[in-house]
Structure 1
Amino acid sequence: MHAAARILIVEDEFAVAMELEDRLENLGYDVVGHELRGREAIQRAEETEPDLVLMDIRLDGRMDGIDAAQQIRTKLHVPVVFVTAYSDDETLERAKETAPFGYVIKPFEERELYASIEVALSTHALERRVARYRDDLRQILDGLNEGTAMTQSDGKLTFVSRSASHMLGKPPSALTDRDWTSALPFPDDTLAVLKRRMSNDSQTVVPVTIEHDDDTQVRLEVSVRRDPRDDSRHIFTFADVTDVHEMRRMLDEKTEFNDIVGKSEPMQQVFQEIRSVASVDATVLIHGETGTGKELVSRAIHDASSRHDGPFIPVNCAAMSKDLAASQLFGHRKGAFTGAVDDHEGYFEAADGGTLFLDEIGDVPLEVQRQLLRVLEERKITRLGETTSRPVDVRIIAATHRDLLEEVDAGNFRQDLLYRIRIARVELPPLRARRSDIPLLVRTFLRRGRATMGKDVERLSDDAMRHLLDYEWPGNVRELRNAVESALIRASGPTLEKEDLPPEIKHDGRISSTRSEPESEAERVRAALEQTNGNRTEAAQLLGISRATLYRRLDEYGIE
């Protein structure tokens, strides 16, 4: 049996109050008291904490029943039922501001009063249960590692969980009751992507990096979906992947070095050579085919060296004219030759304290090679038209795609200069010798392409990947990057298909001379395993061979 509801009567006429008390007790309620004035009613309510207040509107004193009800509701959240003889529009409008649970007009029947009180008590109990469920839900959402935020139909945030507030670096009060596009501290391009996700119901996560007021960087993955209870509202979820990203970065230290991507054995050897030559101040010769990343390697050596705070000056020797090569490298004095209208600082002086990268050094004219050798030996330069030398503190990193020994034999390159520039050496493998890096390189180029082109391409189809693995790549990594960017322009969906690839790859992409070489075939197997995350069944399908054949090749090439 339920305990009798406890009711406080607030009525300025004593006789009416006594009559109400008798009626309520006859109906089985417990009357905790009755008051004539608003102030006393508020105090009695705080002392007795009734289950319901029956409130007259016209009371003795300065405070009427509506003002008293407002304060009682604010402090105690107790249901109030007005019992009054007044029902004019002005009084009703004021009464509605207190969110009353009933409005009984005098005179009234006892059954009418009973029905109003029971409905009020039932409605209040239901509201309390709903509030408890809401609080429980908030507690659950606040306790999750994943952050949550909800919008109403006009786009304003109505709820932000504690974990979401922590991830976003702002208190809930600074986020709620504001349009989500201005409340969430995201860059404009991220907001634009989220808007598109809202319109097409895509739940693909959107990565974003934000910076808190204390300069801490936080990496988040954000998704948004429609509220299943109301299509006009949305629910955001936030996942803090800062630690995951840091762990991935630590793991990727073996797959990336200063924007040079690769985890194949040949590239691991290159990374080790970069670290070794960066620790000394010797001249370096980088050899590799066109497009293998010689300038990237030279920048990596510079950035990892003690000269990283100094200038890095790249020079394309193949683009220098024979007549002006010495002037461009060493500088000239005004009037040194026709057209020398001013004193000019050469590349060596511009690189003072840093690194001078001489790309395609095999194209430097022989006369300039002699001068270059002298500068390397004396660490001084003399501008054209001058007789006084100038000291320079420059490290030389040279690069070429030519076989310089053959160039020496042909009389096109000085042997003594070759010995001087190849004190330290880095040999870059062609892409066909490191095919297992192709899936990794493609993912990198797709990620960069999504950021620069705004294309939501997430992956490459197996058929497209098969063509990339089978192509000979005469232009190496540069050609692969250009092919992916070209395909991104054509792509119309989340998957880059074979039809999106450049014609020379999708039509003529079979390997000719290298396909049958064991080393190249082993790289293709490694690349297929990389693309399929180690799934051997899928790798065999990608290679177009049976599982048994794949297992024989794994044993043959010693691939784990």
Structure 2
Amino acid sequence: MNTDNDDSKQNGTILILSSDSAHHSQLKGILGDTDLKLQHADINGLFEHDITLHTPDLALLDYSTPQNPQSPTPYQLLKLSEHHFNVPALAICEATETNRITEAFQAGFQDVITTPFRKEEVHARISAHLKFCIQHQELIEQQERFQKLAEATSEGILIHDCGIILEVNQALLNMIGYEYNEVIGMDVITLLTPESRDSARTHFKANAEHSCKLFATRRDGIEIPIIIQGRCMNWKGANIRVVAVRDISLQSFIDREQQTLSAVLGEKDHFGSLVGRSRIMKKVYENILRSAITDSPVIIYGETGTGKELTARMIFEKSDHHRKCFLPVNCASIPDHLFESQFFGHRKGSFTGADYNYQGYFEQAQGGTLFLDEVGELPLPMQAKLLRILEDHTYTPVGSHTTAHADVRLIAATNKNLHDLERQGKFRSDFFYRLHVLSIDLPPLRARKEDVPLLVIHYLKRQTESGRNHAIDDLPAPLLEQLNEYNWPGNVRELFNVLERYLITKEVRLDTHTNNGQPIDESLDFLGAGTPLTVAMERFEQYYIHKVLAHHHGQKNKTAEALQVNRKTLYKKLIKYSSQPK
């Protein structure tokens, strides 16, 4: 098999055991652009011991809804597969058959691929497990070469004396990206992240032989999770320590995938700070976990009040990497002329008013996550400047001649459709595709009204636990029914504001005026009141200008650009309407 990371160059043989030939055809279509070889066999043939196939690298066993009571259990399928081939086995289950997915994991399947098949998921899961097979095979070969050290090693070996590296094997060099001559004589502690060094010193000082999970830093700056295990031995007349090092990045990936499925199948009514157990919210939880296992950029779409920053924080909290800092930035509030200074920092004396060195957002968030809220509001020149960060992870502070490295994970959010902005020429295509690696769509509250009671309970419970006066345990049934029927244009934020008002005044006021099922702003109450056309048009223009101005936080340049009028026209209209009621 080829170890190239490009899935299109992945080699290997996959056996599909299924009584349904349609699954084989579908997978053949999905994997047809790769170098993978597919074999198909009927499950009944496996039971009758009458199949003759070459040993595959991976087995996919169909455990979708059975056609008859005699269909095999997942345990029977797995044991027969192990008897015939002894290779990793993945179950094929229908996405809606949650009980069967649970049974498959309980039986011992390494993973589950759900139907209807999704191309990205099939490629990712098969690639991950084939890579796992490759690493397993490499481990076997290592153990054959280093039989005397077999008990101490899994993938990499280093020998040190009081922390000074004396010897390493090639597997460790591949893992950390260094050359042999670079690491000999190095202090082993310098290969670890700062957070892991104290734990490692304690581990080495105690001559502990149990395993210890740490984080190492590759030569290119990437952090990788490792497990070390050491033993003392006599080598060349000295008592030295042999340390086995195992990269568990892939295992962490698989664990995350299984954690994702557990979250989707679970019956919990919340996920961290996010509340809801509707199907659409479980999909959000799944995407959060998938985003957390990588450092790739993420874009979060959602209306105002749906919890975009909460979602970004959940990704940050669930991530193994970039654990240091979460820095939220509102892109709409940054003036154009301060953009470079705010993001990249500046050096003292670089411009008038630069009386001291200033650390920009990228330096403040170093080793952490930078959350770009309202990223759709960024002007094109600013997008171009951020593009370089996404491409080569470097930037230059204002007034500096030295390039800095940005070890920062970017998460962005917007309530706009970036596809539409791109087509309109308001969002750079290159910036869009660099940013849009992973995406999460947050549903509006009106699309998951079954979660309203849970959100109400969550809010009231939080107020009670905080010791707030006038806190209550629940709402009257008629009031809860009224909340369930409302469309919630302001989403969860509006719901919590309504509950806050209720705790203070014991009154609930909801705007029930709707236009095609959508709420109407009370400022437009003249629309259905028989107002003359000329007056209505003027009232609407006044309303709309102030709404856009408020959206851009009073920035008249951005407001004029959004309205597609020149600044002089905008100023005239603002003066005109300043003496009129809004």
TM range (shorter): 0.3 to 0.5
Bigger-Rg structure (1/2) = 1
Return the TM-score normalized by structure 2: 0.42
Return the TM-score normalized by structure 1: 0.44
